[in-house]
Structure formats: structure tokens, C-alpha cells
Amino acid sequence: MARRNFIPRSQSLFFEWQEVFMVNLGEIGAETLMPVAVYNNLTSLQSGYKQSYIISENPITRTSGAIVARNNAREIYEKELRRVIKVYIINNPDVTDKQRMDMKLPIHKTTRTPSQVSKKSPYLKVVTRLIRSLIIEFGESETSKAKPSGQQRIEFIYVISEERPTSIAQLNNSKSFTRTPINISFKESERGKTVWFAARWENTRAKKGPWTAIMYAIIP
């Protein structure tokens, strides 16, 4: 919960907000949500804050001392409000979303939005820059090196073979990469040989999309 994403900063808006909150808290039965002593302490802090606020807003009684007293009362009151909301209300299954809305509280999602499984395979481009290395740039398209939304990494599989593999299962070496380019190093004795490879996206929940077609390159 962000520290100031629902409690107003200004004194006047805070005063209005806490009035609405406390009225609705009483209506839903605060004594069933928290210990009586906690609720009584909260109402006591509210009473002290409201009294100091009224004094500080009256032109006749508004002094620097009155403003300091109001600010101090609010600080103590607001701290306890945040604690009560966090401990007894925000994740309490006995409090409905409508009741939270009536109390001017944020509605927090209890389930995560699942990441989409990519329906497309990655775009791969072979770049021969170093000897004994297979360097492959990847992205969501020929013009974009970005990963599709919700995709965390690319799974890359390969095999060195003079014959074209007939199935993905024959590509028995596997690596994962989160950033382009892919860089696979080979032995000196493997230079000039054919490496076959394919790749697919993997999302943040480890769900995987379709493989690319099996491609090949000559190890430089």
C-alpha cells in the first residue's frame, strides 16, 4: 500500500475523509472487526484531532501554537488510522469491497493477472562476428528487439549435426536468455560444423509459446 495513495494530504480534505471513514467504520460494526480497546483509542484520537482542527481553523483562535497542536494531533491520529486499516480492514474477508469503497479505501486485487502465453515464436537473426561463437539476435519482430508483453525470457535449444533433425526433441542442448543477443561458444574442433537450433518465448509464470522452425548456421 503506497503511503499516501488514499489519505489526503491537505488538512481540509483529510478532515472530510476521516469523518466519512469513521462514520462508515461505525456503521459496519467496528467492534466485530477489531478489539474494543483499539476502536475506543481510535475514537479518542479522532476527538482530540477534531478539537484541535476546529481551533486552528477559527480566525479568532488560530495561532502558531494551535497549528502545531493540530499537526501533532493529526500525525498521531493518522498513524493509528493507517495501522488499523492495514491490520483490521484492508484484507479482512468480513469487509466487502463496497464497504471499503464507502470508507474511501482502495480496493486491492487478491489475484494476480496471469501473463499471456505468447502465440508467436521469436524472430531470430544470426550474426557471425566471432570465431567459435554463434551469436543470434532475438526479438518480437524483425524491427523490434523487445520481448513481447509478459514474456520473461527465451528458451534456446540446439544440436550439432551433419543431418537435419527431424523433430524438436533432437535438439538436446538447452539454454535460457533474458537479453539479446544469444552467444553460444564452441570448441575449435567444432568450427565449420552445422548447428541446428530453435527457440520459444517463456512468460513470467514459466508458460511457454510455440517453437520457431528449426534453423541452422555454420559455426565460424
Residues 134 and 74 in one domain: no
Tell me the C-alpha to C-alpha distance, in Å, between residue 59 and each of 13, 51, 64, 208. 19, 15, 12, 67
CB-facing half-sphere around the CA of 1: CA atoms within 13 A: 16
CATH of the domain at 148: 2.60.40.10
Residues 206 and 128 in one domain: yes
Average pLDDT over residues 33-38: 87
Query: Looking at residue 4, what is its pLDDT?
Result: 47
Query: Looking at residue 109, what is its pLDDT?
Result: 63
Instruction: For residues 134 and 155, give the distance between their C-alpha atoms in angstroms, rounded to a whole number.
Output: 15
Quick check: is 3 in a domain?
no
Average pLDDT over residues 176-182: 92
Residues 83 and 134 in one domain: no
Q: Say how many Å lie between the first and final Cα of the chain, rounded.
A: 54
Quick check: is 211 in a domain?
yes
Q: Is the peptide bond prior to 181 cis by the omega test (within 30 degrees of 0)?
A: yes
Average pLDDT over residues 15-43: 88
Last residue of a domain, one of 57, 72, 102: 102
Residues 49 and 127 in one domain: no
Under the phi-then-psi rule, with left for phi > 0, alpha for psi from -120 to 50, and beta for the rest, what region is 93?
alpha
Tell me the C-alpha to C-alpha distance, in Å, between residue 42 and each of 66, 81, 106. 21, 7, 20
Quick check: is 108 in a domain?
no
Give the model confidence (pLDDT) of 192-209 as tens digits.
Answer: 999 999 999 999 888 999
Share of the chain above pLDDT 70, in %: 94
Instruction: For residues 195 and 85, give the distance between their C-alpha atoms in angstroms, rounded to a whole number.
Output: 60
Q: Residue 8: which residues within 8 A CB-CB, separation 6 or more?
A: 14, 16, 17
Give the model confidence (pLDDT) of 69-97 as tens digits.
Answer: 999 999 999 999 999 999 998 888 888 88
Domain containing 72 equals 11-102
Beta strands in the chain (DSSP E): 123-127, 133-139, 151-160, 173-177, 182-185, 194-203, 215-218
CB-facing half-sphere around the CA of 106: CA atoms within 13 A: 13
Q: Please provide the size of the chain in residues.
A: 220
Q: Which three cell numbers stand for residue 57?
A: 481553523
109 compared with 148, residue with greater pLDDT: 148
Question: Is 117's pLDDT higher than 80?
Answer: yes
Residues 129 and 192 in one domain: yes
Average pLDDT, the chain: 90
Question: Is 2's pLDDT higher than 60?
Answer: no
29 compared with 184, residue with greater pLDDT: 184
Average pLDDT over residues 105-123: 77
Task: Look at the chain and report how many structural domains it folds into.
Answer: 2
Question: Is 47's pLDDT higher than 50?
Answer: yes
Q: Which three cell numbers stand for residue 101?
A: 469503497
- Any idea which residue has 475523509 for its cell? 17
Residues 157 and 211 in one domain: yes
Tell me the C-alpha to C-alpha distance, in Å, between residue 179 and each of 67, 150, 162. 55, 14, 29
Give the model confidence (pLDDT) of 118-163 as tens digits.
Answer: 899 999 999 877 899 999 999 999 899 889 888 989 999 999 999 9
Last residue of a domain, one of 72, 102, 132: 102
Query: Looking at residue 3, what is its pLDDT?
Result: 43
